[in-house]
Every structure is written in C-alpha cells, then in structure tokens.
Structure 1
Amino acid sequence: MNYKVTHITDYIYEFPATLCHNLMFQIPANLPFQHVEEYSCEISPKPSSEIERVDFFGNKYLYFSVERSHKNLNVTSKSLVSLSSPSWMEIDPAETMPWEAVVDVLHTTETSADVRQYYLESSHVQFVEGVGQYALKSFTPERPIMEAMLDLNTRIFRDFAFTPGFSDISTPLEKVFKHRKGVCQDFAHFSLACLRVIGLAARYVSGYLETLPPPGKPKMIGADASHAWIALYIPGHDWVEFDATNNLLVNDQHIRVAVGRDFADVTPLKGIVYSGSEQEMKVSVDVRNLEEALRPEEVSK
C-alpha cells in the first residue's frame, strides 16, 4: 500500500505572539514494513531556527522557533509512505507464550531495559482502581499472550464508545474508565494501563489511518485526525501492534510516526508561546491510498 499523508496545523492568536518554541512529531518512521519515500514540512512564518533530531525512544522530531511577531502559525507536513504486511500477521495467537511466562521474562536481565521501561506507570497511564480486574477477564491463567490481547482489544472496542468531545488530553484515565467512552488516545492509554498493571510491557504508537476507505468498506474510526494504538512486547516476535478503537491487529492501513510511554512523549505538535492572548488550534489530516482508483466524488469534480 502506498499512502500520501497531509497533516495541517493552524494556530490563530487573538493578539500577536512575539516568540514560540516548538517540538513536532510528524515524521513517519522507516521500519521493516514501512518505507518513507518522501517527507517535507512547510512552516509559516519561516522559523528562525529549525533542527531535526532523534529522541530517547528513537523517534525523529523537529524543533523550530519563530522569533518575531506573528498572529498565525501554520505547519504543513506531507509524506509519501509505502507499507507492507508486518511479520506478526503470520503469528498463530494460540502458539504464543502464556502471558505469565512473559511477565517472568520481563522481570529478569534477559530483557533489555529499553523494553522493561514500558511496564511502568507514566504521565497518562495510571493504574486506576479496577483496571487490573478488567484486564484479568481476558488474561486468564496460562492463556497465550496474543490470544489474550486480541480478546482485550475486542472487549475495549465493545465496552467503550468512541465519543469525540468527551475528553481531551488532560482527562484522567479514571474518568474514561468510569464513563466507558473517549477517543483513540484514551483507548490506547486504557489498553496500556491494563497491560502494564499485570506486569506486561506495552508502548504507545502515534500515526495515521487512511481517511477514505476502499469502495464498499466502512470508514475506520479516528481516520480524520492523528491516530493512536499500542504495541505489546511478545518474546520471539518483538513488538506486535493492536488498535482497540477499530478492534484490529494492525496491518497495512496504519502509518507509524512515533512510539513512547504515552501521548506526552510523542505529541504531534507542542511548544511554548509568548503571548498575552487566547489561541485557537485547528488540525486537519488527510491520508490517501495512491493505489485506489479515484473515488466517484473526485471524478465528478
């Protein structure tokens, strides 16, 4: 699959800002199953400084600053990405290790600290009351880890309602769990809490979904903005990705940008602005499959 991604962020200030410093995580990653053919970023006003770096987790990100008065900030990222089916699609879930055995492995020196850091609490992933009991309904004794994870994925998909506007990134996980609703970031954080509280290692994945589905297929949830899902560490298979928002074992429709402990590590665009006024942010994401024929509505234009 070949995709074109356009991610546009607009900040509008009530009164001009005099200075801003920003970190941007919108550069897709090169992986065995994902190749970035092209990437470009246009920023207006033109930044005073602009530096691409790699963070602690191995993600590429862009630092930039605008050091003059401006009332608007526009950031437009464009990517061409090719995807193939990841190796985990060939795994038989019933043949994976019992999940308790994975916990035992994670708590020995056989597993690197880079993996073990992902079974701890983090800013947005707290072990709230009841989350362990919820997880153990899927992770029953001696159950193969991938089979249990697929069951947890399905339960979250059925039990939680995708509800834009109910939450924002400051909404505590306890509220999401209590009301059983939220958006993809909430479902990812809840999945991570379920896994980490029972001793498993799982990390947050940020990226994109195809905006328009193939003809005759339903549109996936969360496709009009940045998307989020999780990756679970399974010995012998490395990181395997699951999307509870769409009840999927992630295949070749998810474009990966960055990984971290939670949203705070890989926020698409964050920073500090010097201004004495309110600001408004608008975000639009468009992901097109370049191999699909033109949609009927496009032909008529």
Structure 2
Amino acid sequence: MQFRIHHRTHYRYAGAASESFMEVRLRPMTNARQTLLSHRLESDPSCNLHAYTDYFGNHVQTFSLVHRHTELVLDSYAEVETHAAPPPEVALELSVSEARQLYRAEPLRFFEFLNPSPAIQFSAAVNKLANRFFRPGNDIGPSILALNHWIYTNLRYVTGSTRIDTTVDEVLTQKKGVCQDFAQAMIAVLRSAEIPARYLVGYIETDAQRDAGQTEAAAKTPSKRRPLIGAAESHAWVEVCLPGGHWWALDPTNDCVAGERHVQVAAGRDYHDCTPTRGVFKGTHTERLTAAVDMRRLSD
C-alpha cells in the first residue's frame, strides 16, 4: 500500500518565546516492511534544519530559533509504501526455552530490550503474566499472540484515562489506557519473560481515515475485518525479536499483527526514546499544543 501522510504540530505560547530548540522524530523509516518515498519538514517561523541518526537508528532533525516568536508550526509531509513481511515459521515454532538460549548467546545485542527502562518497570503483576504466558515448553509464536490477545481483551481503550507518566502497574490495575499503555504493558511482560521487545511509534490507517478516502459506494460496503483504532496524532505498538533476528511487529490495541496499514516512524526502549517532538524554549510557557495527522491511501 502507498500512503501520503501530513503531520502538523502547533505550539502556541502564552507570550513571546525569545529562543527555542527542538528535536523532531517525524521521518518514517525504510525497513523490511516499508519504503520511504519522500519526506520534507517545514517550520513556521522558518529555520535551518540539521539531521542525525540516534542510537536506536531513528532519523532526528533539530533546529533552533533565536528570535522572538509567539507560535511554532511544524508540518511533516511523507509518502510511504508498505509491504507484507511475514515472520519465518521456524522461528515461531521454537520453544520458549530454546529461544531464551539463543537470546542469552547475544547479551549485548539485546541488552536495552531485555531490561527495565525509564517508562517500563518489572513488578509482581508483570512477572506473574510472564510466567503464565511463557512456560519453557510452549512455542514462542503462539505464546506471543496469546499475550497480544490478552492485552486487547483485558484492557479497555479509553482516551484520556492515563497520563504520559502512568506506570505499567497502574495500567494493569485500572485495566484501561491508550495505545502507549497497551504497548508498554506488553513489552514489560515480554522482557520479564526474557524475550527482547521494543516500542514503536508511527501511524495507523484507522477505519475512519480509510473511509474518508473511499468513494461513497465503497464506504457503504460493510467490512468483514475488525475496525482498526488508534490515536489521531500517532500510534504505538510493539516489536518482538524472534530467534534468528527477525523483528515481528504486533499491535495489542487492535489484537493483530502490525501490517501494511501501519507506518513506523521511530523505535526505542519506551516512549521516551520515540517522542515525535521535544524541545526547550525561553521566556514563556506553552499555552496550547495541538497535533493532527492526515493519512491518505494512494494505492493498494
């Protein structure tokens, strides 16, 4: 599938900011599941952009504004083609015990994705789920899918029910959250079970977005697939490293394997490593921050 994506971020300040420095992760990746065809980032006020690749392989753009301004608008425009990339069946059929032996042979490669991180901590509740789903003799593929399904069926998707700093334990206790919470809860259980997992952020073509680009007749045709849901600004899901090195993407918010309607922008240990925009400024405070994404399918 091919998509055109417009992501707008708008900062409005209470007064005039005298200086701003911003770090932006808005450029989609090129990998086995997708190809970036084009991307550009525009800012108002305009400025010079600098780019680098961070520790986790994410494309980062930075800039500074050294004159007074009362608002800042960032427009990211991208065209991406997504591909099907099924995991190797042999990797899914290995037992959890066999997979752990292979992971332990490469401790440095998986260190960041096997240990707790700032937003993902282990606990008694997390360890209990890890022991429940990942018994040594179980096949690893079906076990991962079972956990993905459990997160979906036991947590309710409720916008505004959590904060950006809500812990995994709080999410498991109140049994509700948003895509960030679903992803981080699943990652916590996987890492507790000694299975490397990382946090992905990007875009998802929800059914509302898909229908907006259809003809009237096509939009009225009922779909037999479960509707895909996600945040209007960005979406979060999970990637698990299978034995052999294949990263398998799963979306616990939608109880599915992440497919051609998912577009990846950044990866990391948790949301701290993948924040779309992050910065500092002098002279005032943010009065309002809004973000919106328009994702249009160009072809199947």
TM-score, normalised on structure 1? 0.90
Q: 1:299 maps to what in 2?
A: none
Matches within 5 A, 1:74-153: 74-88=73-87, 91=89, 95-108=92-105, 111=106, 113-153=108-148
Cα deviations by residue, 1:279-300 (Å, 9 ceiling, x for unpaired): 31101012111126xxxxxxxx
Provide the C-alpha distance between the structure 1 equivalents of 2:158 and 2:128, rounded to a whole number of angstroms.
24
**Displacement, 1:52?**
1.0
Q: Secondary structure at the match of 1:152?
A: helix
Q: 1:296 maps to what in 2?
A: none
Amino acid at match of 1:158: T
Identity of aligned residues (%): 28
Provide the C-alpha distance between the structure 1 equivalents of 2:32 and 2:173, rounded to a whole number of angstroms.
39
Cα deviations by residue, 1:28-49 (Å, 9 ceiling, x for unpaired): 01112311111011111112x4
**Displacement, 1:92?**
6.8
Q: Secondary structure at the match of 1:235?
A: coil
Cα deviations by residue, 1:200-254 (Å, 9 ceiling, x for unpaired): 1101111100142354335411152211111111112521111000001111111
Q: 1:52 maps to what in 2?
A: 51
Matches within 5 A, 1:22-37: 22-37=22-37
Q: Greater CA deviation, 166-175 or 256-265?
A: 166-175
**Displacement, 1:100?**
2.2
Q: Secondary structure at the match of 1:28?
A: coil
Provide the C-alpha distance between the structure 2 equivalents of 1:7 and 1:114, rounded to a whole number of angstroms.
33
Structure 1 residues 180, 264: CA separation in 2 closer, same or farther (over 3 Å shift)? same
Q: Secondary structure at the match of 1:177?
A: helix
Provide the C-alpha distance between the structure 1 equivalents of 2:21 and 2:285, rounded to a whole number of angstroms.
17
Matches within 5 A, 1:230-241: 230-241=238-249
Provide the C-alpha distance between the structure 2 equivalents of 1:221 and 1:135, rounded to a whole number of angstroms.
26
Q: 1:256 maps to what in 2?
A: 264
| 1:107–1:116 contact (8 Å) kept in structure 2 | no
Cα deviations by residue, 1:77-117 (Å, 9 ceiling, x for unpaired): 010000110132x6378x52111222222222xx2623232
Structure 1 residues 163, 229: CA separation in 2 closer, same or farther (over 3 Å shift)? same
Provide the C-alpha distance between the structure 1 equivalents of 2:249 and 2:279, rounded to a whole number of angstroms.
29
Provide the C-alpha distance between the structure 2 equivalents of 1:41 and 1:191, rounded to a whole number of angstroms.
32
**Displacement, 1:66?**
1.2
Amino acid at match of 1:186: D
| 2:103–2:243 contact (8 Å) kept in structure 1 | no
TM-score, normalised on structure 2? 0.91
Q: Secondary structure at the match of 1:290?
A: strand
Cα deviations by residue, 1:167-191 (Å, 9 ceiling, x for unpaired): 1211222211110111111111111
| 1:3–1:289 contact (8 Å) kept in structure 2 | yes
Q: 2:65 maps to what in 1?
A: 66
Structure 1 residues 278, 7: CA separation in 2 closer, same or farther (over 3 Å shift)? closer
Is structure 2 residue 272 aligned with structure 1 residue 274? no
| 2:130–2:190 contact (8 Å) kept in structure 1 | yes
Residue ranges of structure 2 left out of the alignment (5+ in a row): 212-218
Amino acid at match of 2:66: E
Amino acid at match of 1:229: W
Is structure 2 residue 169 aligned with structure 1 residue 174? yes
Residue ranges of structure 1 left out of the alignment (5+ in a row): 293-301
Q: Greater CA deviation, 67-76 or 163-172?
A: 163-172
| 1:30–1:36 contact (8 Å) kept in structure 2 | yes
Amino acid at match of 2:57: G
Q: Greater CA deviation, 72-81 or 207-216?
A: 207-216
Provide the C-alpha distance between the structure 2 equivalents of 1:23 and 1:168, rounded to a whole number of angstroms.
22
Provide the C-alpha distance between the structure 1 equivalents of 2:168 and 2:75, rounded to a whole number of angstroms.
31
| 2:125–2:169 contact (8 Å) kept in structure 1 | no
Q: Secondary structure at the match of 1:87?
A: coil
The number of residues matched between the two structures is 287
